[in-house]
């Protein structure tokens, strides 16, 4: 499956997606899904979901962990390092520039409006990411199970009753007790 992956192609995708997607980790991971699963078939949906899941439970910045997981899966250490550097270096430099100039532009009504629109778009991209992860599991007679897990996790997270680590632990325990290992 990953035979068509080259370091040059991987870096090109990481540069474009990692530096031209706004809204944070979830929208960026959704854009990566479109590029590496849907368009290029470099990863299966299950491999992508594993990289996404591992990144979410890794301490620190989950987007960096995601880049490492995808790069590692596709090309080992070279892929992991290249993906992280390509996806983060230009945007980090841009963030430094924006931070430096924020004081001058922070009170501007037009700038504020743009950032409010970007925030709303980021929420939509987060929902799209959740759908991309959930969709492969919504078939067959057990399609309702992922909806129960996802809905329960959303309620617990939005209600701020449990931390993300506690929610993942509870989901793992519930999955274990539920008893079968049928995949998508």
Closest alpha carbon to 29 in 52, 2, 5: 52
Give tens-digit pLDDT for 111-149: 777 777 777 887 787 788 778 778 887 877 777 877 888
Give the pTM.
0.59
Is residue 78 a contact partner of residue 7, using CB atoms and an 8 Å limit?
yes
Question: Which pLDDT tens digit goes with each residue over 7-40?
Answer: 999 999 999 998 888 767 778 888 899 999 999 9
Distance CA(142)–CA(164), nearest Å, equals 25
């Amino acid at each position: 499956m990953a035979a068509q992956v080259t370091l040059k192609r991987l870096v090109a995708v990481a540069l474009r997606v990692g530096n031209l997607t706004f809204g944070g980790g979830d929208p960026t991971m959704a854009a990566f899904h479109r590029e590496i699963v849907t368009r290029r078939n470099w990863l299966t949906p299950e491999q992508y979901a594993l990289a996404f899941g591992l990144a979410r439970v890794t301490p620190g910045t989950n987007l960096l962990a995601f880049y490492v997981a995808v790069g590692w899966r596709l090309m080992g250490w070279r892929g992991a390092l290249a993906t992280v550097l390509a996806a983060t270096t230009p945007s980090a430099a841009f963030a430094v520039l924006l931070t430096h100039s924020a004081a001058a532009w922070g009170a501007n009504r037009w700038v504020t409006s743009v950032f409010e629109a970007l925030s709303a778009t980021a929420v939509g991209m987060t929902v799209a990411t959740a759908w991309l992860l959930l969709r492969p599991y919504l078939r067959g007679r057990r399609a309702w199970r992922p909806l129960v897990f996802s809905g329960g996790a959303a309620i617990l997270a939005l209600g701020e009753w449990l931390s993300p680590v506690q929610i993942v632990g509870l989901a793992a325990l519930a999955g274990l007790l539920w008893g079968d290992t049928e995949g998508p």
